[in-house]
Structure 1
Amino acid sequence: MAINNHRLIGLTGGIGTGKTTVANYLANAYKLPIFDADIYAREAVQPGSSILNNIAERYGADILAASGALNRQQLGNIIFNNPQEKYWLEQQIHPYVRDRFVEAIERLPLNSTAVLVVPLLFEANMTDLVTEIWVVFVDEQQQLNRLIERDELTLAQAKARINSQMSLQEKCNKADVVLDNSSTLEALLKQVDAAIKA
């Protein structure tokens, strides 16, 4: 796969830091194609998929909702408290997600700019798919507050989700661009404008 002709922005950060806000802005303001790991990961576990069958085999039929779809909340309760199970699940899903990214990149016209939104860019070893890495950063208290509010989690659940990922500071240390989302939306978007024009 030739990524040399493209500008491929790997957009990452922690859970609840504002990746979606940045991706939506890049799509709307700059008309950039957005490829989203979360969408591919949801596709990977659609009813009837071999990956979903593997998950049901491992955790029992209770992991499925009445509709046959994955019960995400129940799966979350298992994997966010058990690193080994989280690792097992990622081994099922990450190869599928990587293949979808590769297909999307190969379909791009020459010399394109595109955005790959990959929450686990480092953890899933997908940095080779991008030409630069942008990390969206907030301080830990803001991250907790946003997560509790957005996903209606308890403090313990929110902390478990944050702790299941590489620390934000470590991600920032590996980034080409750090977007600080701890003040206003306007301040964040100004940083995005500067980064895209760099």
Structure 2
Amino acid sequence: MSTWLLAGLGNPGPEYERTRHNVGFMIADELARRARASFSAPRGMRASVAETVISAAGVGVPPGDKLVLTKPRTFMNESGQAVGKLASFFKVPPDHVIIAHDEIDLEFGQLRAKFGGGDNGHNGLKSVRAHLRTGDFYRVRFGVGRPTGHHAAAGYVLDRFPASMREDLAVEVQRAADACETLMTEGLPATQNKFNS
């Protein structure tokens, strides 16, 4: 049995809930809900953490590999502090780390699972790369689209999803959680075949 670490990226605090930048938190919350796992805040970890298992039957179904779900309690650009500490504490190698995050270069409704690569200007990924000392980890990229007109990308990702998108958002978050499950149970090629768009 091995251990997986899945970090959903976002910003802590009620003012950032349901924003585009926090879709990683939403994905981690959905996986915890499926497993009936509760988040706690272990001392010194700078993260909310929930522990469960992942097997071919899904999240929370034993017997299977251990799964550590986390939502860093730092701001986005320091996400790697929590990811690095947890990876070290649970002895998770980078190739068993999954980062779920927002991606402005993908339209809403598009998902991409990949291994390795650059950070593409995403400060959360940049921090994770720095603290893991490698870019060789998995990413599940959740499309939030680019802003139109003169709206700056930094402000756009901190905006909440419009109320009109709430139902679609719930569906897409579930699909992203499905992709994370598939990645851990069936591997990257199967995940890309099923979910990459």
State the TM-score bracket (shorter-chain normalisation).
0.3 to 0.5
TM-score normalized with structure 2 length: 0.39
With a CA cutoff of 8 Å and minimum separation of 6, indicate the structure with the bigger relative contact order: 1
TM-score normalized with structure 1 length: 0.39
Q: Which has the higher helix share?
A: 1
Higher radius of gyration, 1 or 2: 1
